[in-house]
Chain A
Amino acid sequence: MHEQKHHIATAFDRDLEKIQALIMKMGGLVEVAIHQAARSLDERDVELAEKVRAADREIDALEEQINHEAARVIAIRAPAASDLRTVLSVMKIAANLERCGDYAKNLAKRTSVLVQGPPVGGTTRSVRRLAREVERMLKDVLDAFMRRDAELAEEVRLRDQEVDQMYNALFREFLTHMMEDPRNITPCMHLHFIAKNIERTGDHITNIAEQVIYMVTGEIPDEPRPKGDRTSYAGGEKRKG
């Protein structure tokens, strides 16, 4: 990607580098949180789930720190052009990462409840696969951010469709289990919230990808991205009959 020239004021470079390093750190923590939360669910590891819940505090603190540093740069440096876009994007990216962290924490919470009953088929394995896909998106979008690579960000943005499709499949899997045995309803409701939250994590990562594109090109992609989540319509066709 294109080389950014240095500022005449080297302290300005240091300020911007610091904020970007904080984003990478925060993103890394969120990546770990998603990974461990999904693993704690699949492996019924309550201790790991507890660790994920505790680690969310650090993610929240990082968001605050990023906002603080960004406000400082705006006040002191009056950034313009790509510097301004970087500062604006960084604040939005931090907010999106914070939400992703919350969803991972929520997953971990539900793990503690779900381990109290027997597993429902291979559902947690499927949830973990979904989480893995989202994790990959997050890793790539962070790379795109670091390298200021709008093409990679665009690719991540389009990949959200696959997450939506995986979520649709899971949704049907849960419905099947619930229809088979009403005792599955409680765990499947929890599992469904988990799957939905992971799917939403994918949406937040898509937002981050859009911010990366804005940061690099100055333009927010305007064409609507393809939506793969059809579950809002699920069950509707039956009632017609």
Chain B
Amino acid sequence: MNQQETGAGEIKISARDVQVHYGDNHALVDVSVDISDKMVTAFIGPSGCGKSTFLRCLNRMNDTIDGCRVEGDIRLDGEDIYAPEVDPVHLRARVGMVFQKPNPFPKSIYDNVAYGPRIHGLAKNRSELDEIVEKSLRRGAIWDEVKDRLDAPGTSLSGGQQQRLCIARAIATSPEVLLMDEPCSALDPIATAQIEELIDELRRQFCVIMVTHSMQQAARVSQRTAFFHLGQLVEYGETGQIFTNPSDPRTESYITGRIG
């Protein structure tokens, strides 16, 4: 397969022989994959296939789960993200995350976005912070809708707006990678289309990795698709290829809606 040829970017994340255990449960088996910069990579697969587990390995979210053991090698720009000297908090500023349910802090719209830059000391003064907040909200494609009510609580927005606010919050710390765990599954079709449009815009600046249960969404939004099944990475390739002519029969069964 010509995995490297369609690539806009260089390899941003490189994983080798990744294993994840939750206690006795071997949740992820021998996953090796190279994820390119400046494009959207979608992880698809049935529930429990390991796709979210793998996503959460990429910013060490699994560290917080008791009994979870991650083995193997995951590199961000060639640096081992599980090396002892790496501070997970700092890593998560570089590898931002957006969750399934919009989860704005119970704070103002402004403070939701300003929170990350404040704790990471990215702004020297209020006007710099204002600038970061505005820029992030613009990139989150929500500025026009909230610019007149930045003091309103983030929770007062609609679901789709809250999710775009969360994306703005995630990019406020200028991350390099954006992880999205089913970012649209709680949204209506119009809000979904807006988020998808935004994701397509974001890939110019970021490496975007998205877990989705909607195969149509993976097909619409991503340039690469990875199919996970029973903890294994079954197939990884150019999205158009995966959806017209997958090479593994398990991928075929899953994307055509047949019993696997």
A residues contacting B by CB (< 8 A) are 4-9, 12, 78-85, 218-219
Binding stretch for chain A, among B23-31, B121-129, B238-246 = B238-246
Chain A residues whose C-beta falls within 8 Å of the C-beta of B216 in the assembled complex = 78
Q: Are A7 and B257 in contact (CB under 8 A)?
A: yes
Q: Is the pair A79, B258 in contact by a Cβ cutoff of 8 Å?
A: no
Asked if B215 lies at the interface with its beta carbon under 8 angstroms from chain A, I say yes
Which B residues touch A84, using CB under 8 A?
A: 243-244
The answer to whether residues A81 and B257 also contact, given A218-B244, A218-B245 and a CB cut-off of 8 A, is no
Q: Are B245 and A6 in contact (CB under 8 A)?
A: no
B259 with A80: CB separation less than 8 A = no
Indicate the member of B243, B253, B256 with the most A CB atoms within 10 Å.
B256
Q: Is B257's CB under 8 angstroms from A12's CB?
A: yes
> Does residue B252 face the partner (Cβ distance < 8 Å to A)?
yes
Q: Using a Cβ cutoff of 8 Å, how many contacts connect chains A and B?
A: 40
The contact string, 1 if C-beta is below 8 Å from chain A, for chain B 220-244, is 0000000000000000000000011
CB distance from A216 to the nearest CB of B (A): 11
Contacts of A218 in B (CB 8 A): 244-245
Which chain B residue has the least Cβ–Cβ distance from A219?
A: B245
Q: B252 contacts A82, CB within 8 Å? A: yes
Residues of B in contact, count (CB < 8 Å): 15
Q: With the chains together, A17 CA to B106 CA distance in Å?
A: 54
Closest Cβ neighbor of A79 among chain B residues? B256
How many angstroms from the CA of A98 to the CA of B64 in the assembled complex? 64
State in angstroms the CA–CA spacing of A81 and B244 once bound together: 4
Cβ B256 vs Cβ A80 within 8 A? yes
Which residues of B sit under 8 angstroms from A82, Cβ to Cβ? 252, 256
**A5-B253, A80-B215, A82-B252 given; 4 more Cβ-contact pairs under 8 Å:** A7-B258, A80-B243, A80-B244, A81-B245
- In the bound complex, do residue A5 and residue B243 qualify as a contact, i.e. CB atoms below 8 Å apart? no
CB pair B244–A85 under 8 Å, yes or no, is yes
Collect the chain A residues with CB atoms within 8 Å of residue B246's CB.
81
Assess whether B18 is interfacial by the CB under 8 Å rule.
Answer: no
B259→A81 contact, CB < 8 A: no
A8 and B257 contact, CB distance less than 8 A = yes
Select from chain B the residue with minimum beta-carbon distance to A78: B216
Give CA–CA (A83, B216) in the complex, Å.
Answer: 14
The one of A4, A6, A80 in contact with B255, judged by C-beta atoms closer than 8 angstroms, is A80
Looking at the assembled complex, report how far the CB atom of A148 sits from the nearest CB atom of chain B, in whole angstroms.
13
